[in-house]
């Protein structure tokens, strides 16, 4: 019997879990990883502004140095690929103008056509009431990328572990983010689960849909 697309999605999401122990030394194939990087790039964001950077940490020494600042969790060092999701700390007109220029380039139009759109973004995030909370706004966008990355990984059989148990300031220091205009928000380890990870066999705990989904 042919497996439906809905079955593929639900089976993948039921299969995934926050992997605590990775199969050290087993590496995600380059083609698969390239697709997962692209899944982050393709993440939707408010206004389409993409106020983020995705730091794929490959240096083994750097990854080991992150462990003490990750509540001593071993995943940063043990996984195949480790991603740090960083968000913009502020938004100015130059940042908006760069996005407008990129949009005009991709869509083959004049930047002037997007003048009203530009002014809307500037009026909201640069000069408006939300300007004071723009770092929090950007952090929320980074979480959208985290979610899309984990779901995409599950669909191609890659394990992940989202990590909020980290010290962002120390991550910023070790990863050279200080003074860059970006700051660490959250991280995610990716790779393959170890057979010894007991959580892989633990039943998934969720409230029933009848309690958390309301149809209005």
CATH code for the domain in which residue 76 is found: 3.40.109.10
Q: Does residue 188 sit within a domain?
A: yes
β-strand partners of 188: 83, 162
Q: Judge whether 187 lies within some domain.
A: yes
Average pLDDT of 135-147?
A: 98
Q: Where are the alpha helices (DSSP H) in the chain?
A: 5-15, 30-41, 60-66, 75-78, 93-107, 115-121, 134-155, 168-175, 209-212
143-158 mean pLDDT: 98
- For residue 202, tell me if it sits in a domain: no
pLDDT in the model for residue 1: 79
Domain assignment present for residue 9? The answer is no
Find where tokens 């973004």 sit. Answer: 121
**Mean pLDDT score of the chain:** 98
The arithmetic mean of pLDDT across residues 13-20, rounded, is 98
Q: Is the pLDDT of residue 164 over 90?
A: yes
Within 10 Å of residue 157's Cβ, how many Cβ atoms? 12
pLDDT in tens, 169-194: 999 999 999 999 999 999 999 999 99
Please tell me the distance from the alpha carbon of residue 93 to that of residue 119, in angstroms, as a whole number: 9
Contacts of residue 163, Cβ cutoff 8 Å, sequence gap at least 6: 70, 73, 75, 76, 186, 187, 188, 189
Residue 22 contacts residue 189 (beta carbons within 8 Å)? yes
pLDDT of residue 111: 98
Cβ 162 vs Cβ 142: under 8 Å = no
- 203 found inside a domain: no
- The verdict on residue 175 lying in a domain is yes
- Give pLDDT tens digits for 25-50: 899 999 999 999 999 999 999 999 99
Number of domains in the chain: 1
Element (H, E) at 81: strand 81-88
The boundaries of the domain holding residue 81 are 23-197
C-beta separation of 191 from 26 below 8 A: yes
Is 121 inside any structural domain? yes
In a domain, 16, yes or no: no
Read off the pLDDT of each residue in 62-72 and give the average, rounded to a whole number: 98
Supply 24's token pair: 């050290």
Model pTM score: 0.97
Work out the average pLDDT over 75-97. 98
DSSP character string of 142-198: HHHHHHHHHHHHHHTT-EEEEE--S-HHHHHHHHT-TTTTEEEEEEEEEE-B-TT-G
């Amino acid at each position: 019997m042919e497996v439906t697309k809905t079955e593929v999605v639900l089976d993948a999401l039921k299969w995934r879990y926050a992997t605590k122990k990775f199969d050290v030394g087993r590496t995600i194939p380059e083609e698969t990883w390239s697709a997962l990087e692209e899944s982050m790039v393709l993440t939707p964001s408010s206004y389409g502004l993409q106020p983020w950077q995705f730091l794929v940490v490959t240096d083994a020494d750097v990854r080991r140095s992150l462990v003490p600042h990750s509540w001593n969790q071993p995943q940063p060092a043990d996984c195949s690929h480790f991603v740090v999701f960083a968000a913009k700390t502020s938004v100015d007109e130059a940042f908006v103008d760069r996005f407008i220029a990129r949009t005009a380039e991709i869509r083959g139009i004049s930047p002037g056509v997007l003048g009203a759109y530009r002014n809307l973004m500037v009026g909201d995030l640069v000069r408006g009431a939300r300007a004071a909370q723009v770092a929090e706004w950007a952090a929320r966008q980074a979480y959208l990328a985290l979610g899309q990355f984990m779901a995409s990984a599950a669909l191609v059989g890659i394990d992940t572990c989202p990590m909020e148990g980290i010290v962002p300031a120390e991550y910023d220091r070790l990863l050279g983010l200080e003074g860059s205009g970006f700051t660490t928000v959250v991280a995610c380890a990716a790779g393959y689960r170890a057979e010894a990870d007991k959580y892989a066999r633990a039943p998934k705990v969720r409230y029933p849909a009848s309690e958390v989904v309301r149809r209005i």
